[in-house]
Structure 1
Amino acid sequence: MKGGVWRVVMLGLAVAAAALVFLGVEITQLAADDRTAFTRGLAICGLGLLAVWFVFSRLSRHFRDLGRLSDRLSGARGRVDLEPISGGPGGELARLAEAASLARGGERGLGDGPLGAGPFGGGRADRALRAVLALANDPLLVLDELGRVEQLNPAAARLLAVEEGADIGKSLFRDDLARAMERARGGGAPVTAVLRRIEDGELSARIADLGLSAGAILSFPARGMAHAAGLSGKRTLSLRAAQAAGPLGDEEPLAALPFVALWVATAGVEPDSGPVIAIGTVRLVGSRIFPTVSLALLIDPIDPVPPEATARHGIGTAMVAGERPFAAVWPAIQDALHNCIAVGIGIDSSVAALARSAAQAGIADPALPPSLDLGALAAALDPDLADAPPDRLAEAFGVPRHPRNASQEEGPQREALFQAELAVALLSRLTERGILTQGQARALTAGAGAQVSPQASP
C-alpha cells in the first residue's frame, strides 16, 4: 500500500536527512576552532539523523501493516501471516482492523486481541492454527457458520479453487455438507462423508463440528480412503457404513424428535409401483424446519417414464435422462434419512418404494427409517379428512400450497418442504390436544386414543 502518501513522506524524510547532513558539514567548517560548539553541533545533527531513522522505521512498519490489512480484506493474501500487527491491540491500526473485521462478519487473523479472537481463542491460538494449516500436507479448511471459508491451506485452495472469504457453496453442494455437519454435531465426533462438487466429481472428507454458530473444519485425506481427495467417479456403497441410529422411543417428546419430511416419485403406472425417479427431503426437529438441510435428487430409471406417472407428479423422461442411477445416489439418501423418523402423506408407500428400488439395485439391508403418516394423523384429529388429498390437507391446516413447477430439482424440494410445513402444523394441533410423545401420537393414529396426563389435558 505504498502509494502517493508513502512517496510524499519518504521524500520529506529524505529532505530532512539531507538538510541535517548539510548542517553537519557547515558546522564542521564554521566551528572547527571551537571544540565545544563543534561537539554540540555534531551531537545535534546525530540526534536529528537518529530521529529521522526512527520515524522512517516506524512509518515503514506502519505502511507494511496497512498493506497486510489491505491484502487480508481483499482476499489477495499469498502467504500465511503469523506476524503480530504493529502497535499492539490498542493501536489505531489494530482498531481499524477490528472495525473492518466486524463489518465483514468477524474475520480474524491479523493480530492479537479481539481481531484474533474466535472459536479458537485469542490471536496466539489463531496464529497457531494458521501454522498448522500451513504445515499440513492434506487439504484443510475452516468454515464459519454461514459456509464462508475463514482459513485454508494452499492444498485446499488448489483442490477446491477457493480463497479466504469465499462461499464454499460455489465449490461443494451445500446439502451434502450441511448433513455431514449435522451428523458431526449430533455425534460429537468427526465424521466421514462424500461431498459432491458443483462441477463433476466427488470428494471424500472428514468433518469436525466446532459447535453451534462456530462453523466446522474440513479435511480431505488423500491416503487410506477408498476414494482419494480430488478424484471423481462413481460412489461405492462400501465407502463407509452409516453410524448406528440413536434411540427414538415412544417416550421421546415430539418437540425434540428428529424428523425428515420425505417425498418420493415413482415411474409406475400406478402410484405404488415402479422405480423411484425423484426424492426430496427436508429435516425438522419438532416444529423447527431446517430448509437448508435438504435433499433433492432426480434418478434415471433407464426405462422411459410412463405418461400416467408424469401426469401424477410432473416428472418425465426428459427430466431424468442422464441422471445417476439409484445405486449411485443411495448413500446421499441414506444420509438424509439417518437417525430420523420419516414423515409424509402416504409415507409408508414412499418408504416401500425406496425399499423396492434398493432391492432392485442389489442393496442389502437398506436400513430404512421408522415412519409416521401425516394423512393418518390428520384423519385422527379430524375424521372428515380421512383419505383427503394434499390440497385438502393444506387448506384444512393453513399450509401454503405452491403451484407445481417440477423443473430440475425444484419439484422434489418444494414437495418435501410442503410435507415439512404440514408436519409442523399437525404437531401444533397435537400439542393443543395434549399429545406430547411419539407413543401417544402412534396410539392416536392407531385409533386406540392417546394416554394424556391430566396436567396436559386441554
Structure 2
Amino acid sequence: MGGMTRHGPTRRTLRLAFLALAAVVLAAVGGAVWLVADAGLLRDAAGAPAVPALVVLALAFAALTGLWACWGVLASHFADLERLRAGVLVASVSRDGRLPPPRDRAAGPDEVARLREAVETLVLRRLFPSAGPDERLTAVLATLDEAILVVTEQGQVSLVNAAARALLGDEPVRVGSSVFAALERDDLLDAMAHAHAEPGGAVDATLPGVDGRRWPARICELTGHGGYVVRLTATPVGGPRLRVVAEDGAVHHDLSLHDALPEAAADDATPLFDLPALVFDCESTGLDVRADRIVSMGGVRVHGTRIFHIANIDRLVNPGVPIPPRSSAIHGITDELARDAPPFPEVWPALEPLLRGAVLVGHNIGFDLALLRRECSLAGLTPPAPPTLDTLLLAGLLFPDMTDLSLEALAERLGVDIHGRHTALGDALVTAELYVRLLPLLDSAGIATLAEARAFTGRATALRARQRAMGW
C-alpha cells in the first residue's frame, strides 16, 4: 500500500549500515590496490602490470553490485511490510475485516504472505468471534420460500432472503442498494406511509415492479428501528406462481443500516475519527461547471469511520436542458428518464438537511460543489459553502506511487467493491468506503483533525493546478 510512510529506526539503521559497508568495501579495495602497488607486487620482473587495473575495477564493481542487489531485496521486503502495515490499518475500519489485496497477487507464499494470512485471521477472529444469534436467525430465514425484504425509511435494502433475490434479481435488491431499483418508488412509499398510519403497523398492497410485474405484498413497519418489512408472494398478479430458485440460499443483511445518525457539527478542531461528513456525488449534462446542469444527486452521511446508509439521498433531477448522448453513455440518464423527474429546487429540501454541520467529501469534490452552487444560484437559493475534503487529493498524497487515481484504481488498492459505479449514489457509496479507509492512514501520518487534513491537501499542488484549469 505504501505512500506517506514514516520509516522506522530499523530501516534507517540498515540503510546507513549498507552505505557504511559500501564505503568500507571501496576503501578496502582502494587501500589494497595502493598497498600492493606500493610494494611493487602488481608488476612482474620486466616491470609490466601483473594484474590488469580492469580486473581490480571489476572486482570492486562486483562487490558494490552485490551490495546494491542485497539492498534492493531488503527495500522491497520493507515495502511489502509497509503495505501490510497500511493494510492492517485499513482492515481496522472495513466492515468485513479483510485486508486489501497484496501488491503482487501471483507471488508465491513467503514470510510476508504468511504474516499477512496470520494477521487477517487474527482480525477476522477478533471481529467475528463465533456464530451467534444473528447467524442462527439467518439460517431460519433462509428456509422460507416467501420473498422477504427489510428496507430503511429511505428505501435502502438492509436484509434480503434468497426468495426475494430470485424474484427481483440479485443486483436490484443488493444489500445497501435502493429498493426502488426493483419496485416502483411512489407505490412502495405510499404503502409504507399507510403501514405507518395503521394501528397495527401493517397493510396489504399490490406493488408494481420496475419490470412491469405486479406483486401482492404485505408491508409491516419495523417499529422503533426506522424501517419496514416487505413480504412478496411468488405469484405476480395475472401470472403463474413462480418457482423460487436462487444459486445462493443465504440471507444477506446489514441491519446497521438502520442505525441513527449522531448529531454533531464540524469545525477545524474536530478529530477526523469524529468528523460528520456528507460524501456526495452528482451526475451532470457535461463537465463545464459554468454551463452544465445536474441530472442526479447521490450522497450518504458518514461519522468518523462509520457510514450511515440510513441518511442518504438518491434523486434524479430534471435539468431543463437536453442531455448530450455522450454524457448519457457514461451515467445512463437520458432525456426520457429525466423528463418526469423534479427540477433542482424541488430536490434541494431533501439535500439541505444532510449538508448541515457536515464536511462535504467527494472525489474531485470541487466539481460537484461548483455545480451545486450554480444550481442554487439559478434557483434563487443561497449557495452552500461547506468545508470540503477531496479524496482524490488525499489519496494522491498518501499514495505518491500511484499514477491512476480514479475511483476504480483506488478501490482495487484498498479492497473496495465497486458495484453501482456511474450512478450518483453508487459513486458516493464507493467514495465513502474509500474515505473511511483513508482515515487510519492519515492518522498514521500524523494528520488527526479537519484543519490538518485540509492543510495536508494544500500540498497537492500539481493536482490542484489541474483542477483549477478545469474550472473548479
User: Normalised by the size of structure 2, how large is the TM-score?
Assistant: 0.42
Q: Which has the higher contact order (CA 8 A, sep 6+)?
A: 2
Task: Give the number of the structure whose alpha-carbon radius of gyration is greater.
Answer: 1
